[in-house]
Amino acid sequence: MPTVIVEGPKIDVEKKRELVRRITEVIKEVYEIPHVTVLIKENPPENVGIDGELLLDKKRGEGVD
Amino acid sequence: MPTVIVEGPKIDVEKKRELVRRITEVIKEVYEIPHVTVLIKENPPENVGIDGELLLDKKRGEGVD
Amino acid sequence: MPTVIVEGPKIDVEKKRELVRRITEVIKEVYEIPHVTVLIKENPPENVGIDGELLLDKKRGEGVD
Amino acid sequence: MPTVIVEGPKIDVEKKRELVRRITEVIKEVYEIPHVTVLIKENPPENVGIDGELLLDKKRGEGVD
Amino acid sequence: MPTVIVEGPKIDVEKKRELVRRITEVIKEVYEIPHVTVLIKENPPENVGIDGELLLDKKRGEGVD
Amino acid sequence: MPTVIVEGPKIDVEKKRELVRRITEVIKEVYEIPHVTVLIKENPPENVGIDGELLLDKKRGEGVD
């Protein structure tokens, strides 16, 4: 502990490296605990719904989170 | 918020669309909050255990959830 | 399976009853599986951050999700 | 999305404020998405096991995460 | 890693001790990894729905999981 | 309920079978509830951070969890 689970879209390995490094830094400083696990969960746009619509479908129209 | 995580088996994109639309409708009406995120998690039958047995193995015999 | 986890604010027992009944109905129809577990997670406003601010602090100003 | 779930011990409200502000900043920069939800989960030491022992029991001896 | 999250009803501290000890033993042997975190989540019966009904309501009639 | 989520690295199907069988046995005995769902989540080493570093990068140097 602490364990951080990040639910987001796909990202490349360089971004994962940065994410884990920076999230861990924040957790260590706030909790004052040195052991931190981060789990990055990558969700395809057809598996995410925002306000009733699949991200997959939103993306076709506009450009969205 | 609210965020809804659905852990289930694989489903096709049309079902995902329906799932997100209907779950969001329920959440909006019950919580009276307009912003809803739904994350659909698809679990292969070899990664799910029901009462001590993999879904993969159960399926070979009968036909189950 | 399926298991549905709902992360939201506190709600009263009557709303929980409605939430579970209606979510289960949707899951059963979409997945065509009769066994559904719903876990309702109630998050106090000081434990939720939206866009960098605690819900606790947002609520003091406006009225928000 | 993205949604970040932080499983840790109890912390005070000032730390939660800092945690949410800083985690959101990291997520926004790495994912380049402005909407971020953070859920802080506070786990009592009797509900966390590290390497086979409850945190509650570990704490009695030493001082640990 | 591995991290195990157990979603169940309330249990006493002696049971938590046993749960963590035994789950950790299984994980260590199956994964051959010595570091294991277990998070015990206790769900009140009014926050759990089984097949469309709150556990709270089921318990009034019969006696159930 | 209970539902157990195991976040770990990839494992083969024989290990999954053992994991589900043994975890279920522990849960049944501790909770005295016969219905147990286990969800095995397999995380690639580039999606796991331990103490600020991706498991992917740690593995290149040493040999780690």
Domain boundaries, chain B: 3-61
Q: Name all contacts of A24-31 with Cβ < 8 Å and 24+ positions apart.
A: A24/F49, A24/F51, A24/F52, A25/F52, A26/D19, A26/D22, A26/D23, A26/D26, A27/A2, A27/D6, A27/D8, A27/D19, A28/F52, A30/D11, A30/D15, A30/D18, A30/D19, A30/D22, A31/A2, A31/D8, A31/D9, A31/D11, A31/D15
Rounded average pLDDT over D8-24: 98
Give all chains having 3 or more CB-to-CB distances under 8 Å with chain B. Answer: A, C, D, F
Q: Which chains touch D (3 or more CB pairs under 8 A)?
A: A, B, C, E
Chain D residue numbers with beta carbons less than 8 Å from the beta carbon of A27 are 6, 8, 19
**CA-to-CA distance for E30 and F11, rounded, in angstroms?**
9
In tens, the pLDDT along A28-64 reads 999 999 899 999 999 999 999 999 999 999 977 665 4
Whether residue B17 and residue A52 make contact (CB cut-off 8 A), yes or no, is: no
Q: Do A1 and D48 touch (CB under 8 A)?
A: yes
Confidence of residue D61 (pLDDT cuts 50, 70, 90): low
Nearest Cα of chain E lies from the Cα of A22 at a distance, in angstroms, of 19
Please give the class, per CATH, of domain F3-61.
alpha beta
- pLDDT higher than 90, residue D1: no
What pLDDT, on the 0 to 100 scale, is given for residue C64? 47
Mean pLDDT of the E8-31 span: 98
Q: Rounded to an integer, what distance in angstroms lies between the CA atom of residue A13 and that of residue A10?
A: 10
Where residue A20 falls among pLDDT bands split at 50, 70, 90?
A: very high
ipTM of the complex: 0.93
What integer is the mean pLDDT of C9-24?
Answer: 98
